[in-house]
């Protein structure tokens, strides 16, 4: 299905029948992607006395309870409420769901014992003007990002300057294939989160950060239409399903 969307007085054609899912599925398994030192997700049938909510156990329906953490168990989208004393919900912060976006690939730069994504790398990678969202694919881009155990791995992260530069470009939605835009153990500084949201100076309440995406190597760097879908949780973060659509020349 071919449709046309307008952005900044320019018309773009996309094929809605060819979505590119960049989310990671949640599974009740040791193979589920994991961060922040937590147990694996649990998906279990409800039990009530002798009754088990599972068709194979004699019930008429499968009736599961799911226990998970959105920040540590898969693709999630968060609002500034993730770092504030005041409560803000992603369900209220994200009010639009389609955005012009650019996928960029970056090989993080080694600094001491860390690997970082710098302002210069971001600046040299972005090629489109007036984008509303950026999707950062880190290199090397291996399949194990779908089930990697990130705890105590000191993953790459954005420098404060890089996150601030993305904000200066008026990009409201930042997506990355890591558990956090910040260093795993940073003594609670959260410099990249704060720089991107411009917190607490002039907080960007409608801006979002999406972490733990996976951008397949078949998806080339370039311009896309992003559909940023979230579950309707009244929480600082919710599991999400970002979908890309190629722009048809």
Summarize pLDDT for 37-92 with one digit per residue, the tens.
999 999 999 999 999 999 999 999 999 999 999 999 999 999 999 999 999 999 99
- For the question of whether the overall pTM of this predicted structure is more than 0.95, the answer is yes
pLDDT band at 17 (very low <50, low <70, confident <90, very high): very high
What would the CATH number be for the domain defined by 2-25+71-248?
Answer: 3.50.30.50
Is the pLDDT at 135 greater than 80? The verdict is yes
Is the pLDDT at 196 greater than 80? The verdict is yes
pLDDT band at 129 (very low <50, low <70, confident <90, very high): confident
Across 139-149, average pLDDT: 97
CA 248 – CA 232 distance, rounded (Å): 31
Is the pLDDT at 166 greater than 80? The verdict is yes
Q: Which of 232, 179, 237, 243 is nearest to 208 (CA)?
A: 237
Is the pLDDT at 8 greater than 90? The verdict is no
Helix H or strand E segment including 114? strand 114-117
CA 228 – CA 236 distance, rounded (Å): 16
How many CB atoms are closer than 10 A to CB 211?
Answer: 24
Q: What is the largest CA-CA distance in the chain?
A: 62
Is the pLDDT at 249 greater than 80? The verdict is no
- Give the residue extent of every domain in the chain: 2-25+71-248
Q: Which two tokens stand for residue 113?
A: 């014992």
Is the pLDDT at 155 greater than 90? The verdict is yes
pLDDT band at 6 (very low <50, low <70, confident <90, very high): confident
CA 191 – CA 184 distance, rounded (Å): 12
pLDDT band at 9 (very low <50, low <70, confident <90, very high): confident
222-248 tens-digit pLDDT: 999 999 999 999 999 999 999 999 999
Measured CA distances, 177 to 66, 68, 143, 212 (Å):
24, 19, 11, 4
Chain mean pLDDT for the chain? 97
How many CB atoms are closer than 10 A to CB 84?
Answer: 15
Per DSSP, the three-state class of 35 is: coil
């Amino acid at each position: 299905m071919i449709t046309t969307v307008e952005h900044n007085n320019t018309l773009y054609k996309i094929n809605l029948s060819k979505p590119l899912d960049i989310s990671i599925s949640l599974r009740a398994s040791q193979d589920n992607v994991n961060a922040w030192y937590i147990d694996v997700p649990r998906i279990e049938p409800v039990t009530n006395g002798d009754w088990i909510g599972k068709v194979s156990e004699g019930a008429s329906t499968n009736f599961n309870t799911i226990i998970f953490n959105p920040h540590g168990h898969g693709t999630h989208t968060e609002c500034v409420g993730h770092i504030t004393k005041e409560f803000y919900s992603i369900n209220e912060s994200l009010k639009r769901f389609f955005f012009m976006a650019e996928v960029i690939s970056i090989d993080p730069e080694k600094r001491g014992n860390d690997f970082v994504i710098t302002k210069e790398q971001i600046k040299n990678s972005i090629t489109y003007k007036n984008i509303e969202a950026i999707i950062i694919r880190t290199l090397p881009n291996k399949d194990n990002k779908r089930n990697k155990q990130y705890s105590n791995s000191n993953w790459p992260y954005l420098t404060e300057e890089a996150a601030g530069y993305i904000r200066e470009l008026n990009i409201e939605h930042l997506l990355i294939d890591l558990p956090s835009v910040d260093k795993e153990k940073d003594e609670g500084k959260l410099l990249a989160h704060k720089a991107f949201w411009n917190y607490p100076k002039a907080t960007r309440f409608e801006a979002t950060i999406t972490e733990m995406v996976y951008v397949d190597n078949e998806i080339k760097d370039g311009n896309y239409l992003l559909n940023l879908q979230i579950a309707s949780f009244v929480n600082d973060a919710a599991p999400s399903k970002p979908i890309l659509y190629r722009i048809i020349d």
